Structure 1
Amino acid sequence: MKVVAELGSSHGWRLRRGVLDDGREVFAKIAAGSGAASGAGMFRSEAAGLRWLGEAIAVPEVIEAGPDRLVLSWVEEEAPSAVAAERFGRSLARLHRAGAESFGAPWPGFIAELPMDNSPAAGWPEFYGSRRVLPFLRQAGLSSRDAAAVERVVERIAEVAGPPEPPARIHGDLWSGNVLWSGGSGVLIDPAAHGGHRETDLAMMELFGLPYLDRVVGAYQEELPLAEGWRERVPLHQLHPLLVHVVLYGGGYRDAVMNAVRRVLAL
């Protein structure tokens, strides 16, 4: 691969734009130094997730997933539009409808550089509580009082989760930075893909804002209507990514975590 541009870094990985010998443009994540060992697991996980999502919708092609690099087809970006947002909403509905064998995945999970337990669980409340919320609560360093409040949410997940749904094929880390606008729609990158609850992807898009989100959700609802009360359950699905942000970036996200906790406990 010939490097044509250095694109900075993210979570310790160097990012590059390159060209292969056959002329194809590619995007590469390169592990640096001591990050190479953990990068191998992360790169394999991301590649597996992309291939799995790609069975249902268009995603970047995985060209190489080695111990120190992940090479993907290049996505040429364009400005988002209302029409592209509606197409993306329908595409996301198709992805979720493709389903999964269980809540979880047959590969190790990662969100950014943090490992996640993807071992299957019988139902979503158990999966979300034991595989997503509690492991990151233990790493977040919250006060005992705050931690106890989060634990109360975990105890109530089955009660407040809404009607049971089968496992959906979800992106798992669907903030706005992981949606590239290209080809008249949104293209998913950097997945933490697994069988999960489809409301998780919707809640993550809202957490940090997505262009034309109302158009995305409207088109999604036409394709695959969400269960009644889904908007009230958004804080429940945002609790895990907010805890991840506490672990990654520190206590500045503590208030957002506790606001989500209060809203869930008020349901």
Structure 2
Amino acid sequence: MRDRLERLLGTGVGDVRDLGSSHSWTLHRASLDDGREVFVKAASGQAGVFAAEAAGLRWLVEAGPGTPVPEVVAADDHLLVLPWLPSSAPSRDAAERLGRELAALHTGDRPDAYGAPWDGYIADLPLDNTLDDRGWPRWYAERRLEPFLRLGARHLSSGDIRLVERVMADVEALAGPPEPPSRIHGDLWSGNVQWTDGRALLIDPAAHGGHRETDLAMMALFGAPHLDTVLAAYDEAAPLADGWRARVPLHQLHPLLVHVALFGGSYRAPLVEAARASIG
């Protein structure tokens, strides 16, 4: 680890502390001889995962000044290095700032199409980022719902599958007013929000051009500190289309299908509930 880091960073590496593991990679904190502290992900396989994460972080920054993501210190096929972000307690002021900055990210320099110009991953599952300018509903059904419905089908009943297929068939009527693509984080559950030094930064993205309501729905899926404050600040800065709250379950279907594919039938009930709520 130390030798690989030194070759990648071009500086000496002192202490390297293990922080556990996540999916198919290990996590570390390293002290560099130049005084910096960094966070390191390391993996022996899945070479594209770190390239996709690094590309996504750099691409999100292109939305404009103040984008709430950390810089990429360095990356290769087996290592991803980010600044070490000391944890702080979530606060309402930081949540309000996050809402404004997330609105700026979504409405800043917008991509021309849904998807992204790199192969994506969510956790360590491949994510189809095929670029498409036909509109979000069909792209979402074809690139986000259908592939993960196939992956998770063994944990679902035939009735469950038909229910999700009904949502996919009706997605254009369920999706609400048309929205242009936004640069979105793509996996914005609370564990991917790092509260640090009076603000919140977004980590571990599955970034792509998507629908801005998707990030907000993901934040609501498993709960997030001061979520009402985040949403109020967001809506004030970049008002959401009428009916957005009713569409939250539609946007939650993709992450729930991912969880079914990764973790099995324990996520079947919330998936079915979200699919039913999507139809109304």
TM-score class, shorter: over 0.9
Q: Aligned-pair distance for 1:2? A: 3.0
Q: Which of the residues 107, 110, 122 maps onto 2:121?
A: 110
Measure, in 2, the Cα distance between the counterparts of 1:13 and 1:145.
Answer: 36
**Secondary structure of 1:104's partner?**
coil
Measure, in 2, the Cα distance between the counterparts of 1:30 and 1:223.
Answer: 38
1:143 aligns with 2:157: yes
**Identity within the alignment, %:** 60
Q: Which of the residues 7, 12, 27 maps onto 1:15?
A: 27
Measure, in 2, the Cα distance between the counterparts of 1:25 and 1:126.
Answer: 44
Q: Aligned-pair distance for 1:175? A: 0.1
1:154 aligns with 2:161: no
Match of 1:200 in 2: 214
Q: Aligned-pair distance for 1:171? A: 0.2
Match of 1:77 in 2: 87
Q: Which moved more, 1:10-19 or 1:59-68?
A: 59-68
Q: Which moved more, 1:54-63 or 1:73-82?
A: 54-63
Match of 1:258 in 2: 272
Measure, in 1, the Cα distance between the counterparts of 2:256 and 2:228.
Answer: 22
One-letter amino acid of the structure 1 residue matched with residue 73 of structure 2:
I
Contact conserved, 2:119 with 2:126, CA < 8 A, in 1?
yes
One-letter amino acid of the structure 1 residue matched with residue 125 of structure 2:
L
Contact conserved, 1:100 with 1:169, CA < 8 A, in 2?
yes
Q: Aligned-pair distance for 1:3? A: 3.7
Instruction: Tell me the alpha carbon deviations over residues 190-241 of structure 1, each in whole angstroms, 9 at most, x when there is no partner.
Output: 0000000000000000001000000000000110000000000000000000
1:129 aligns with 2:141: yes
Contact conserved, 2:68 with 2:102, CA < 8 A, in 1?
no
Question: Superposition RMSD on alpha carbons, in Å?
Answer: 1.0
Q: Which of the residues 87, 92, 98 maps onto 1:88?
A: 98
Uncovered stretches (5+) of structure 2, i.e. residues with no partner: 1-12
Q: Aligned-pair distance for 1:58? A: 3.8
Measure, in 2, the Cα distance between the counterparts of 1:183 and 1:91.
Answer: 15
Q: TM-score, normalised by structure 2?
A: 0.91
Match of 2:112 in 1: 101
**Secondary structure of 1:106's partner?**
coil
1:181 aligns with 2:195: yes
